Amino acid sequence: MKSLFARLRTRRLASAYVVLATLTVAIVAGSFAVHGVRGQEQQPSSVDATPLKIVNSPIASNEFVRIAKQVGPAVVNINTQTLPKQSENRRQFHGRALPLPQNPGDDGQGQGDGEDNFQDFFNRFFGGQIPSPDQGDGGGGVQESLGSGFIVDPRGYIITNDHVVDKADKIYVKLSTDPDSQDLGRPARVIGIDKATDLAVIKIDAGGPLPTMKMGNSDNVQVGDWVEAIGSPFALSQTVTAGIISAKNRTIEPGPSGQFQHFLQTDAAINPGNSGGPLLDMNGNVIGVNTAIYTQSAGYQGIGFAMPSNTVVAVYNDLISPTHKVVRGSIGIQFREGLSDAVNRVYGFKNGVLVQQVQPGGPADRAGLKDGDIITSVDGRPVKDGDALVDEIASRRPGSTVQLGYLRSGKQDIASVTIGDRDKVFADLGTRQPQVNPESTESAGEAKLGIVVQEESQADQGKLKTPGVVIESVRTGSFADLQGLEPGLVITHVNRQPTGNKDQFDAVVQKLKTGDDVVFEVMDPHHPEQGINYVGGTLQ
């Protein structure tokens, strides 16, 4: 029996081997039939594919091509070096962004803090300095920066951004015609800078006439117009991008630091290294200087900003003058933008500028203007808002006279103001540090406004220009909280009624009812130089 089972098993295995062998032969035969393969060798077969050829079919040049060829030679790459002050070896690509400090506005004459804010702006948008391999400075920690610029005078005058050359010890410019072997480029020197607009003029020794660019009229630009940008993003010189004008008159920095920066917005790709390069219209004329981008990735996200050419031309002409300085007019006032409709209704105006503070001894003060006046016109022309007033006054030369129409207590009047030099008017802006009495009593307005106030101590009375009551506490979610009031601020008026003491404050607040507009005149005792801030809304 065992022998029978053994034989049956053997026959089954033999049958299986036969089947496997048959399949193997079939596969090999099929492979040979299809591929012509015999053993491990592949035999040559006929090829019926047609070789590819390049078709010489020229495409008609468009406007972007024409512009790039026409103006490209006048666009330059700018390299700067900052000698080591600390042991660090890094490269940064220049760009700008927008810091978010909440500063009071002024008539374009206040001392901005753009330089202090720039590092925050740079970190926010470009991640600070970008590490690079050793630049061969022997470990000395030289910082290198990259940016762009463009030639506007055949003798070698170049427009760029101030932040491209700011604090640089050495500046080099490379033309599009310079050989790659010329690593650094031609030495350049600074002719003048204007931090208010972030513009700079530098010069190289030409050795002969250089190609130049023409300045266009940025006032004629419309949203939706095609534009072209040329620059050196990430050190890639002569990079051309295109897009449209997305918006006009963009102010991206609040307060004094942004009062002279009203940008063209574009979706043309602008990246780190593009700063200082030109933004061009379809005639090949410069309508802006690429300055900043808005990004969360340190790169292009479709929102770029360029300083309008009309501003650039005015600044350039001042910087190449014998003084190499931009001179702006001032009347010595401060104001705050973005006032609520409630403020306008309570103070009885729709268009105009509510004066927050008049600089003591300044032009407006000498002409009789006071805090709380509402400037409505300049030389008979209506003033819409603070930006319009800044443009009017800053363009005037010191020593000239302007007629300012204003409202005071609902009555119209005119003041003749002699324009001053912005830098001089605010040079001696003083600071006072009044202290408040830590003792307090409950405010009568707590139930209506959610606020508790206290009177100033006898020792501190008179330290502020206008007396008021000090905020001790603000209830979260209350009306006062929603208006941005905080402990420590001093309320000098409510709805134009003086609140120099607690009795006056209580008397005004007790009359308030639901639906009333409520406007506070507030001062920060730690920053009295900022003057009065007007905040308010409608009581619900």
Q: Exposed (0-12), middle (13-18) or buried (19+): which is 475, by Cβ within 10 Å?
A: middle
Which one of the listed residues 232, 246, 275, 440 is annotated catalytic?
Answer: 275
Q: Per DSSP, what are the bridge partners of residue 304?
A: 266, 293
Which one of the listed residues 94, 163, 262, 493 is annotated catalytic?
Answer: 163
Report d(CA 226, CA 390) in Å as an integer: 30
Q: What is the 3-state secondary structure (H, E, C) of 43-61?
A: CCCCCCCCCCCCCCCCCCC
Q: Is 275 a catalytic residue?
A: yes
Q: What is the 3-state secondary structure (H, E, C) of 416-451?
A: EEECEEHHHHCCCCCCCCCCCCCCCCCCCCHHHHCE
| Phi, psi at 147, each rounded to 5° | -155, -170
| Phi, psi at 374, each rounded to 5° | -115, 110
Tokens of 473: 């506490």
CB atoms within 10 A of CB 275: 32
Q: Is 473 a catalytic residue?
A: no
| Phi, psi at 114, each rounded to 5° | -60, -35
Q: Which helix (H) or strand (E) holds 33?
A: helix 2-35
- How does strand 157-161 pair with strand 170-174? unpaired
Which one of the listed residues 106, 107, 166, 198 is annotated catalytic?
Answer: 198
Q: Is 27 helix (H, G, I), strand (E, B) or coil?
A: helix
Q: Is 198 a catalytic residue?
A: yes
Report d(CA 382, CA 394) in Å as an integer: 16
Which residues are tagged catalytic?
163, 198, 275
